[in-house]
A and B are shown apart, each in its own frame.
Chain A
């Protein structure tokens, strides 16, 4: 069958070519000016390679014409919605591709209640800056709040939302997390937190139960638990050192957040500006020294060969119960459950000192809603943000995605995977990871990785001081 197919194909192609009445190639065309007969002469001249070329070319040509023709209706209907005068079209740029489906449903609900507004969801965050450049940014934006978004805030990209009634429903301590990245004109509220992600030590409840280990509340209890697991032949902590970001958000953030007051440290470091030197009281060298031995101790509790494992390896292995603990945030929960539906997980904040009252959770404002300042659809955008900030919408989203609602009086979390962090979050015993304070131009993650491998703390802290000063000099105003 195969072979006979192949043999009939050239015949089919030349039939297409002759019915399409292609002009023959030049020499015939110029010598005899009789179209149809020239075609006949050409095709009976035998199946030379030249004739096959022509037929294939004709096929390509027709394919391209068909493609072009098919595109026209698409561009036609895309212009449709914007022309329906009564309906305002909003663009909503959202930073998490994995929840696009969820927000499509939210948007459908919103449009049912507000038939005069049409919302287009865009998850292509890379188009945000180009949107600003062409002065056509999306109307409503959600972003994770850290250094980069703080930059936009300080430049006044986003409108002031303090007048919005919904602004008063947000827990002020969580609003402070957003505001800590800077406020335009010193007082504006540029974003309303929508989802707060809290991270700690993810642990396998079955392994903890099997070895009679309780959730540790002090550093000594934590290391004792690790020793227990190690003695039992179980890897205490699964390390994924090949992906340096896992070291940054894991051991670096958890230990520094537990030992130091990161917000205060970076506040005074920023105030010092380009004058910071390794000897200064504000420097990394002067403050981060107690953090380092604990990081190395955490690293020593990892499995052999952690330096060749990446984040996805870690998810697959931890889901299968190959370690008792895993230094990851709530984003790892859904891949873990996807890899093993039976796994019973919990999270506790890492106790970095021996005083249980010091124990804090690492949080980040995972989504915060902003309206761009120059949007022509301010009223519609405000209505959309107001809808998204309704307790039912906010709480339902966070309930479903293992995150914490930033609203006052939000119902307590019931998801057993994150209940261990609930007390820290509700008492505002939390910090934003030290790694998130670094400007992207400092390759912090790689420095952390090289510190974990080389164990050279002086070099590590000196490098951070150097890098920080370099960036401060460059960006000084």
Chain B
């Protein structure tokens, strides 16, 4: 099996390389423009890397463009210890994983139910009800929410997960409903003919076909929960369970900022985002819909 896979892969990746000059012309102006545009990402990343490797007396000197010499790798270890990185990381990972799973599961179910029962007044009304939640600015309700979650014993990462899922449900449902409508009902009918129940239709047909939207919602949910500051800061009572963005405040005093430690810790916190971004981006691009509706 593996033997049959490998040669095919190599031919696939090599083929465009040889045919490129004949196949299309390279637009050098556009390429140059894109290269310049890529600096908007690469330059800040360079500053972050350089700053993370500076010792305190290197921080304030020079233009910031110079690469630190010698490099101070201890910043990472120091930031790791100072923030209690492992514990904060696990707490953030817990919040993120369950926020993403919760967002995917709840919103797609709701969207499927509403989209396929559009002729019922109750479902149309519930859609409007869900959408209306988007008009309530979050800071307005945060103190009552804190009170409520404290009464329910949710002043911990689990409560943050719950609120992330709840807070995202209106926007995510909006995304999903538009997508569910584009899926032909005939696909479901054929599954019904084979004796599938509603749950099986959703699980076996609708949910896999939602993959591009799942990726979109998943990425939104991931970034939203991984980077969220306000909700964990206000909600999580026990400092030992606090998440990374809040713990990293450690390096920013009112009047002093420890830039090198801060950037080292930001880099460590950024790493999973980068990994997930690379994985999820290719997932989106791979065109999951192909082959489903022929």
A residues bordering B, Cβ < 8 Å? Answer: 6-8, 10-11, 14-15, 18, 25-26, 29-30, 40, 43-44, 46-50, 52-53, 56-57, 59-60, 64, 67-68, 70-71, 74-75, 78, 91, 96-98, 100-101, 120-124, 126-127, 129-131, 133-136, 311-312, 315-316, 319, 329, 331-332, 334-335, 338-339, 341
Contact = CB atoms under 8 A, between A and B. Distances in A.
Interface stretch (B8-16, B36-44, B130-138): B8-16
B2 A311 contact: no
A11 B6 contact: yes
B235 interface: yes
Given A44-B4, A98-B253, A123-B249, A70 B93 contact: yes
Contacts of A29: 204
Given A319-B60, A339-B60, A26 B94 contact: no
B94 A67 contact: yes
Given A8-B6, A14-B5, 12 more contacts: A6-B13, A15-B2, A26-B208, A30-B204, A47-B8, A56-B286, A67-B93, A130-B143, A135-B150, A315-B60, A334-B256, A339-B61
Task: Pick the most buried of B82, B96, B240: most chain A CB atoms within 10 A of its CB.
Answer: B240
Main DSSP-derived SS at the B contact region: helix
A332 B257 CA distance: 11
B91 A74 contact: yes
A134 B143 CA distance: 9
Nearest to B205: A26
A123 B250 contact: yes
B93 A71 contact: yes
Contacts of B4: 44
B82 A101 contact: yes
Nearest to B96: A67
B267 to A, nearest CB: 19
B211 interface: yes
Contacts of B57: 338-339, 341
A29 B203 CA distance: 13
Nearest to A331: B255
Interface residues of B, number: 70
**Most B C-beta atoms less than 10 A away, residue of A10, A71, A120, A334:** A71
B9 A7 contact: yes
Nearest to B8: A47
B97 interface: yes
Provide the main secondary structure of the chain A interface: helix
A206 to B, nearest CB: 18
B239 A30 contact: no
Interface in B259-294: 276, 279-280, 282-283, 286-288, 290-291
Contacts of A122: 239
A332 B255 CA distance: 7
A306 B204 CA distance: 66
A75 B241 contact: yes
Q: Which of B94, B150, B235, B255 has the most CB of A within 10 A?
A: B255
Nearest 9 pairs between A and B by C-beta? A134-B150, A71-B94, A331-B255, A122-B239, A98-B253, A339-B60, A67-B93, A316-B60, A49-B286
A310 to B, nearest CB: 12
B163 interface: no
B210 interface: no
Given A71-B93, A123-B249, A339-B60, A134 B241 contact: no
Interface in B182-241: 191, 194, 204-205, 208, 211, 233-241
A136 B250 contact: no
Interface in B154-180: 155, 157
A71 B240 CA distance: 13
A11 B2 contact: yes
Nearest to A40: B1
Nearest to B230: A126
Given A11-B2, A135-B150, A78 B240 contact: yes
